[in-house]
Chain A
Amino acid sequence: MEELIEKLKKEIISTLNLTDISPEGIDIDAPLVGEGLGLDSIDTLELLVLLEKEYGVTVPDVNVGRKVFSSVRALAQYIQENRPKD
């Protein structure tokens, strides 16, 4: 789980071009959208692409999406629970 969180942080930074933030600078329990990392709704769409591309995971609707993007930890948990078992 820790490994996944570290990997996720780096991927979020690179996908969203967060050039002024380092992985250590991300609070894994802070909200992603609005406050916290201050992402917008288009950023969340980019993260949805990342989820599907890297982890084969999709988000069925907006309500699940809100929970998934509530923090990096929540995101990691969702991936862990839903990624296809190889």
Chain B
Amino acid sequence: MAAAILYDDVIAGAVFIGDLGTAATGTMPLSNLADPQPRVRTRWAGGVASIYIDLGAEKVVACLALISTNLEASADVQWRFGNDAGFSFNEYDTGAVFAVTSAAANGNVILVNPTSASGRYMLIDIASIGSGVLDIGRIVAGPLWRLRYAPAYGMEEGRQMLDRRDRNELTGAEFPVKAVMNPRTTRFNLPLITTAEATAEHRAILDTLGATGDALWVPNDALSQSELNRRCIWGGVAQPGSAAVAARSNFIAHSRGFTMTERG
């Protein structure tokens, strides 16, 4: 088990993303998958999608995330990945798994390869008949930076409460207002980032994402599917204007604290 971060979305650089036997709705096309706003979704009217992705070259991938979907818990998802464009021989195949996602997980489905694999082609089959239509906001995939050392004790997980609750000072009557969503948030410290990690993955995160890009935080890659969906957070890893630095906290390692809030 390891905590991990996906920061290099290989699907953003894919040379082809298309349907294989299914068809996205013309008014909510496949190109919506590239919109960084997760709520700008792609729709398949039949509730079934078969998404074919050509990365253009062989790449290392360890995780696939369906972000902001309307999948029900019993929806079937299968992710195949490899160098065979016909998917007869795959480097990784999840088989048909239940999505086990929910509104509390923002409809996210996080599929993690316990190791990692190299390949060029992906096929993502989704059957979500119950909801009538199938909507997906983003599909991201890429290698995982599996942290060599775990986060420190004191990791915080919860939600940023955007709900309001005003009170009449005279009568005491309360007037709560529910926000559209209370995004999930987490705060953790990585006390031991090796020098190799600091000069490779951590540096790459800063270079690739800046404060505008999003990353996927996986607190534990051995979690069950439902817990992965609930606890992984897709959002920014740095705040505009603030310094995002790994501090040389001791002789052999760096450290850094992260605060991530889900992008809804």
A complexed with B: no
Chain B residues close to A by CB (< 8 Å): none
Chain A residues close to B by CB (< 8 Å): none
